[in-house]
Amino acid sequence: MSDAPLTLLADQAAYAEAVQLALDASAAYYSNGESPLDDDAYDRLLRGIQAYESEHPDEVLPTSPTGKVAGGAAVGDVRHIAPMLSLDNVFGAQELIDWAAGLERRLGRPVTQWSVEPKLDGLAIAARYRAGRLVQLVTRGDGAEGEDVSHAIGTIVGLPDRLADPVTVELRGEVMMTTSQFEDACAKRQAHDGTTFANPRSAAAGTLRTRERPYVCELTYFAYGALPMPGDTSELAVRLREQPHSEIMAWVAGQGAQTTAATPVAGIVASEVERIQARIEEIAAARAGLPFGIDGIVVKADLAADQVQAGTSSKAPRWAVAYKLPATEKITKLLDVVWDTGRTGVIAPTAVLEAVELDGSIVKAATLHNVADIGRRGLMLGDSVVVYKAGDVIPRVEAPVVHLRTGEERPIPIPEVCPNCGGEIDRSQERWRCVLGRSCKAIASIQYAVGRDQLDIEGLAENRVKQMLDAGLIEDFADLFFLTREQLLGLDRMGEISTDKLLAALELAKTRPLSRVFCALGVRGTGRSMSRRIARHFGSMAAIRAADAEAIQAVEGIGPEKAPVVVAELTELAVLIDKLVAAGVSMEEPGFVPAEVAAVAAVAEGEAVVSVVLPLTGMSVVVTGAMSGPLETLSRNEMNELIERAGGKASSSVSAKTSLLVAGEKAGSKRAKAESLGVRIATPEEFAALVADML
């Protein structure tokens, strides 16, 4: 029995209601892309209907969406040259194994070649070419007939107007919106009527069908197959009927149509189910970093002979299946918005949501960024909203589902004063701030500064910091370095041993490198990684403070929008920095090499010049899993510092540009992605040996 999620139906009335809901959802999606159900909810509903029908075969309604392409939604009047079918789904490794075994039983022999490709989250389209020129676009429709959407020709990236050869052929593929295209489309719709699209999939479906709109939204196409025209007996037609799917896709790419071949989730050919499962894990691991949506992996028999012999059902080919991944977006209710002031004084809203399971976890809250973001998305309390999550990213509210509004929604209350102290709000930038800045939440600001990855001062728990603030001993973390032994002994529950330990920790904190001191400042728009880059670029606090926005922008990762913010923040923090300097806190970065000599750092030996090359020079390094051996005690931030001392660049995500992955115990998805990309992988012990001189 499958353990895949489903909606339980108690009786015939619930079943009939579920059938109608599924039909309505399919009709809405296939007409304008605006379904009342997200993909996961629809899948659960459909499996619930299937389960009920399996147990009550005499009650099956003729309108049931099971076994029908597009869930029974009849859309279009252009006849397909061959049925454009949907795919059956599996929801786990065992279901995939069972499906593959069933196919091999049907064939009476093992399948020697499997094709494994991403399942793109878009709208299936048939693109017809005559003599190499694109002449017609047709949607899937009900599988037999689809809707002519040829008006969209010229607006779809990856779908060429002409193929490389003057051939007559039909390419089948998926039309979708990339992340950037979706953001652009939402901005255009917001400017036009004040609303946004719910998600990239519905945006693509609605955009493709709209014939008259005062703005143009760009789409993207990925081909997944090619068919000859009926009756065509040309050499190409024979090849398309007899070649393996993988070879056909190589030909399609050669004709100029976009496929997934150039992406991190390119299709592969596997000879065994174990390799299929490994590739599924690799694609799933890469999912969060893709600029387009996928909701599963398509597994199919690669050889044409296997496909022909397996045949098709009325709904789906028997030689292919979709392995569905956990949903990364769901529709839920926006119940409330809570406002909070952060440690730098920034006032941020958080969405309170009706609990929903998303990507394996229960989500009850999501980020909303700022007031302007709420306005751009047109959100209201009581809205049905799309909540999005990818990988380890914090859930966020993508957009309201406007067509589900009931009229009972109401505006989101915007704070008139700081929610923490009740003071005035600085509204001069998109991210509103309390006019008191860091002083509004001094405890949080100080706690951040003394944390392990910043100044690492032991003995300063939150209650101790509050005690010092209440006693008037400190106003910010720089004041900590001016505390006397007598002042500390005067605090409640502060004995001689605790006092001496804290004073020793403060003295040690003065020796921290500039990168940690800069991070402790909590400059908006920077963090641990960016603080290290800034410190290594300038070498001293004096040089950083003397830099203008243009000079700050020279640091990798700082753009024209962030640079002025950094300059303004440093001006705001001038008094704090001056106090740190007066206290004797280090303002230099160890090992700093000025830019003019960094390119050719050398040691003169007589007339010879020997270049000094650090072990990780020019390498992008990612660390994942638990460290062991000589690295066991290092935090992730300390590992990143080690990487950069050794000349490398510390990164948090694996990509084709990654040079090395340091994989400890329980490395997980990052290791799988590195293997799929052919990235070099080292154990913690191997990495320690590589950078031994830097430890």
Q: Which domains does the chain have, with CATH numbers?
A: 12-72 (1.10.287), 83-324 (3.30.470.30), 330-416 (2.40.50.140), 437-509 (1.10.150.20), 514-597 (1.10.150.20), 613-694 (3.40.50.10190)
- What are the CA-CA distances from residue 415 to residues 349, 427, 437 (Å)? 10, 11, 16
For position 422, what pLDDT does the model report?
A: 93
Q: Cα dihedral angle (660, 662, 667, 673), rounded to 10 degrees? A: 0
Task: Return the minimum-mean-pLDDT range out of 11-25, 290-304, 525-539, 650-664.
Answer: 11-25
Model pLDDT, residue 548: 94
Residue 316 and residue 114 in contact, taking contact as beta carbons nearer than 8 Å: no
Contact 88, 316 (CB under 8 A): yes
Residue 375's region, left for phi above 0, alpha for psi from -120 to 50, else beta, is: alpha
**Residue 308 reports pLDDT greater than 80:** yes
Give the DSSP H/E element, type plus range, for residue 236. Answer: helix 235-242
69: Cβ contacts below 8 Å, ≥ 6 apart: 83, 84, 85, 86, 140, 141, 142, 143, 144, 314, 315
pLDDT in tens, 137-161: 999 888 888 889 998 898 899 999 9
Grouping H, G, I as helix, E, B as strand and the rest as coil, residue 391 is: coil
Backbone angles phi, psi at 572, to 5 degrees: -65, -30
Angstrom distance (rounded) from CA 213 to CA 644? 51
Rg, the chain, Cα only: 30
Active site residue 119: yes
CA distances from 289 to 257, 392, 602 (A): 23, 11, 39
Could you report the per-residue pLDDT of 260-295, keeping only the tens digit for each?
998 989 999 999 888 998 899 888 888 878 889 898
DSSP string, 617-635: TT-EEEEESB--GGGTT--
Mean pLDDT of the chain: 86
pTM confidence score: 0.57
The DSSP element (H or E) to which 176 belongs, if any, is strand 169-176
Map 334-376 to HEC letters.
EEEEEEEECCCCEEEEEEEEEEEEECCEEEEEEECCCHHHHHH
User: Measured on CA atoms in the order 110, 115, 119, 122, is the torsion positive or negative?
Assistant: negative
The secondary element (H helix, E strand) that includes residue 157 is strand 156-157
The pLDDT score that the predictor gives to residue 595 is: 52
Q: Which residues contact 374 (CB under 8 A, 6 or more apart)?
A: 337, 349, 368, 412
Among the options 119, 330, 389, 562, which is catalytic?
A: 119
Helix axes 273-286, 93-107, angle to 10 degrees: 140
Q: What percent of the chain has pLDDT over 90?
A: 48
Average pLDDT in the 525-535 region? 89
Query: Cα–Cα distance between 319 and 36 in angstroms, integer?
Result: 31
Q: Are 397 and 403 in contact (CB under 8 A)?
A: no
- For residue 79, count other CB atoms closer than 10 A to its CB: 10
- Summarised one tens digit per residue, pLDDT across range 333-363 is 999 999 999 888 999 999 999 998 876 678 8
Question: Could you say which DSSP state residue 554 is in?
Answer: T
Do residues 10 and 48 lie in contact, with contact meaning Cβ atoms separated by under 8 Å? no
Mean pLDDT of 115-126: 93
CA distance 28 to 72: 12
In degrees and rounded to multiples of 5, residue 22 shows phi and psi of -65, -40
